[in-house]
Amino acid sequence: MDMVYPLVLTVHILVGVAVIGLVLIQHGKGADMGAAFGSGASGSLFGATGSANFLSRTTAILAAAFFLTSLGLTYLASTKPRTSGSVMDSVKTEQVVPVPVAPPVESGDSKAKDVPK
């Protein structure tokens, strides 16, 4: 069980990077105008429209895989065994011995009596 979470996380990151790459490779809707002026899209590996179908299907499959790995990571993170108690239970505390305070010394020559009220 300890190997599953890092494995799913690695797959999740790789799929995310692949989705980003595929989205950046795809042509926008305005790319057809560039093909009319000789950009060479019709002579591509997949043909004039084949690359759009292949890339969009691959992107959809990878997006679904990204969604499933997200759900898997959420499930794995929520089902981890938790330790009982709070974080503060693990903090070591020192016992402090209180020092007795001496009572105030009253002397007869105090000037506090002479202060006017």
Query: Residues 34-73: pLDDT tens digits?
Result: 555 555 544 455 555 556 688 889 999 999 999 999 999 9
Count the neighbouring beta carbons within 10 Å of the beta carbon of residue 69. 19
Q: Which one has a higher pLDDT value, 30 or 58?
A: 58
- Binned at pLDDT 50, 70 and 90, residue 15 comes out as very high
Q: Is the pLDDT of residue 82 over 80?
A: no
Question: What rounded mean pLDDT belongs to the chain?
Answer: 77
Q: What percent of the chain has pLDDT over 70?
A: 62
Residue 9: what pLDDT?
A: 95
* Furthest-apart CA atoms within the chain: distance in Å: 111
The Cα 9–Cα 15 span in angstroms is 10
The Cα 56–Cα 50 span in angstroms is 10
- Binned at pLDDT 50, 70 and 90, residue 101 comes out as confident
Residue 100: what pLDDT?
A: 82
